Structure 1
Amino acid sequence: MAQDNHYRIDYLLQGLYRTFYIRAETMSHAEAWYWATVDAGLGQIPKYRNDKSPKLSKPQAESLGLTSVEWSLA
C-alpha cells in the first residue's frame, strides 16, 4: 500500500479565500484544480471508482469564479 501525503489547497472563489486539506498519494496542478472545483461545489466526485465523471477544465472553472489555485505539502 502506498503512503498517502497530506496536501493543503488554497483558492479564490468569487474573490473569497478558501482553503482545505486533502490526503492523496500524489498531487499535481491539474489534480489541485479538480479538488478545488469539488470543494467549491462546482465539480463532481464519481460514485464508484470506475465511473467516469466529467472534470471541469481550468478555463471552465475560472468562468464560474474559481481562481488562484495553489497547493503545497501540509
Structure 2
Amino acid sequence: MKPIDLFVIEYRLHGKPKSFIIRTKLMNNTEAWQWASCDAGLVPIPKPGRPPLKRFSKPMAERFGVTDVRWRESSALTWDEEHSNDREHSGL
C-alpha cells in the first residue's frame, strides 16, 4: 500500500488560527513554514514540479504575522463495509 502523502498544516496569521491540507511527497518544519507562508498569501504557490520562487524562513514569516506553524500527517481513512451498511439503514 502506498504511503499517505497528505499533511495538515496549522498556523496562526496575526493571531487567528488557520489550517489547510496539502498533498506533497516531502514535509518537515522548513517545508511547513514555506507552505504556511504560501497559504497566508506572502509568497506565490510554486507550479507543480518546480521549486518555489522565493523561500520564506521562520523569522521572515514571523515578521509578516505567521506564527505557531505545526504539521502532522493526515489520518488514513479506513472504509468499513459493516459500518457503512449501518449508516444506510439508520437514515444518515
Do they fold alike, i.e. is TM over 0.5? yes
| Bigger fraction of residues in strand | 1
Q: How does 1:12-51 map to 2 (within 5 A)?
A: 12-47=12-47, 49-50=49-50
Tell which structure's C-alpha radius of gyration is larger: 2
Q: Where do 4+ consecutive residues of structure 1 move more than 2 Å? A: 45-52
Cα RMSD for the two superposed structures: 1.9
Normalization by structure 1: what TM-score? 0.85
Q: CA deviation at 1:47?
A: 4.5
Could you list the runs of 5+ residues in structure 1 that have no partner in the other structure?
Answer: none
Normalization by structure 2: what TM-score? 0.69
Separation in structure 2 between the aligned mates of residue 19 and residue 50 of structure 1, nearest angstrom = 24
